[in-house]
């Protein structure tokens, strides 16, 4: 049984505390509005005397400034802070220096499930920071989900986290555009759903539509063959899709930006290459 202090009792932090309790750990809880601790205290948690009360602090707050405000001037000698709050990679690196300056060690993390998924099969989080420190507390943290260690640089956990969110947000927003377009022609979402599910599956597979792997290999090699499927053709097709959305009276900001990106890469003289060449424009704004 391990003692862990959960700092921040929003939906994510509260679920983490409940999950630690269910796993048999001794749990202390702290929140800037301490009334939020009452349901957890009723389940067996202890009210922490301060946000720095404990040797293992698991932080889940709105951002890293909240951690600074909560910990204030407290010394953190011998304390391991595992922060699952959102921020930029540079913010996390600065936070690591801030914690170190107070005698503690920061392990950063990004949990890749919403609160209902914490501690359930398929849950995992990206972690970065000193691996020996993470290893000492891995058995405790595994209660929240699997551990995906991505490196010693404390900014890497958030880099991976945000990379996943970019895929998540853009894919699902495109799916919403697709459903909206089809709805204008009287097609119900459930009629399109099988095709959408198949596409999502194929993109992550190994066949000719497995573009997640295809693009990863092309980007690593720096070569984007387009003999059979050129970027220019994709740019033209994207233009047609944007026009279809506009004709249907739908919002086109994101698809229009995607069309502009394709057209820019084409205008830069890479239209004969494959779709993967767009990353050159992304990396050189």
| Residue-wise pLDDT tens digits, 126-174 | 999 999 999 999 999 999 999 999 999 999 999 999 999 999 999 999 9
The gap between the terminal CA atoms of the chain, to the nearest Å, is 51
pLDDT value of position 112: 95
The CATH number of residue 100's host domain is: 3.40.50.720
Residues 77 and 143 in one domain: yes
Longest dimension (CA), the chain: 66
Confidence of residue 115 (pLDDT cuts 50, 70, 90): very high
Domain termination residue (choose one: 101, 136, 159): 159
**Full-model pTM:** 0.91
Indicate the residue among 112, 134, 159 that finishes a domain: 159
What's the number of domains the chain is made of? 2
Tokens of 95: 């936070």
Q: Could you tell me which residues are beta bridge partners of residue 147? A: 125
Q: Which domain holds residue 149?
A: 3-159
Q: Whole-angstrom Cα distance, residue 65 to residue 87?
A: 9
Note the pLDDT of residue 231.
Answer: 95
pLDDT tens figures, 12-45: 999 999 999 999 999 999 999 989 999 999 999 9
- pLDDT tens string 46-89: 999 999 999 999 999 999 999 999 999 999 999 999 999 999 99
Structure tokens at 118: 């914490």
Q: Which residues contact 1 (CB under 8 A, 6 or more apart)?
A: 24, 25, 26
Q: Is the pLDDT of residue 1 over 90?
A: no
Q: Is 103 left (phi over 0), alpha (psi -120 to 50) or beta?
A: left
b/e map of 45-58 (b: 16 or more CB within 10 Å)?
bbebeebbbbebbb
52 and 89 in a single domain? The answer is yes
Q: Which of 114, 142, 159 corresponds to the end of one domain? A: 159
Q: Are residues 41 and 142 in the same domain?
A: yes
CATH number at residue 216: 1.10.1040.10
In the chain, which ranges are E strands?
3-7, 26-30, 46-47, 56-59, 80-83, 105-111, 124-128, 146-151
Same domain for 12 and 29: yes
Do 134 and 189 reside in the same domain of the chain? no
Q: Is residue 229 very low, low, confident or very high in pLDDT (cuts 50, 70, 90)? A: confident
Share of residues in the chain with pLDDT > 90 (%)? 98
């Amino acid at each position: 049984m391990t003692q862990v202090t959960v700092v921040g009792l929003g939906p994510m932090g509260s679920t983490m505390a409940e999950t630690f309790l269910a796993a048999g750990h001794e749990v202390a809880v702290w929140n800037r509005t301490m009334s939020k601790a009452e349901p957890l205290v009723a389940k067996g948690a202890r009210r922490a005397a301060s946000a720095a009360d404990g040797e293992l602090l698991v932080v889940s707050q709105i951002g890293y400034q909240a951690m600074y405000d909560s910990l204030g001037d407290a010394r953190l000698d011998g304390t391991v802070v595992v922060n699952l709050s959102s921020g930029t990679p540079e913010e996390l690196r600065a936070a690591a220096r801030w914690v170190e300056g107070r005698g503690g060690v920061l392990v950063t993390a990004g949990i890749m499930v919403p609160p209902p998924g914490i501690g359930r099969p398929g849950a995992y989080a990206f972690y970065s920071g000193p691996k020996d420190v993470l290893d000492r507390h891995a058995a405790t943290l595994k209660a929240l989900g699997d551990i995906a260690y991505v490196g010693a640089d404390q900014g890497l956990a958030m880099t991976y986290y945000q990379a996943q969110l970019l895929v998540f947000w853009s894919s699902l927003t495109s799916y919403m555009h697709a459903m909206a377009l089809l709805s204008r022609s009287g097609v119900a979402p459930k009629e399109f759903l099988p095709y959408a599910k198949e596409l999502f599956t194929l993109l992550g597979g190994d066949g000719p539509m497995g573009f997640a792997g295809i693009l990863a290999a092309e980007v690593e090699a720096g070569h984007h063959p387009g003999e059979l499927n050129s970027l220019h053709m994709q740019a033209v097709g994207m233009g047609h899709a944007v026009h279809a959305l506009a004709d249907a009276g739908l919002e086109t900001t994101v698809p229009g930006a995607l069309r502009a990106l394709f057209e820019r890469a084409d205008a830069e003289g890479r239209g004969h290459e494959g779709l993967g060449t767009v990353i050159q424009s992304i990396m050189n704004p």
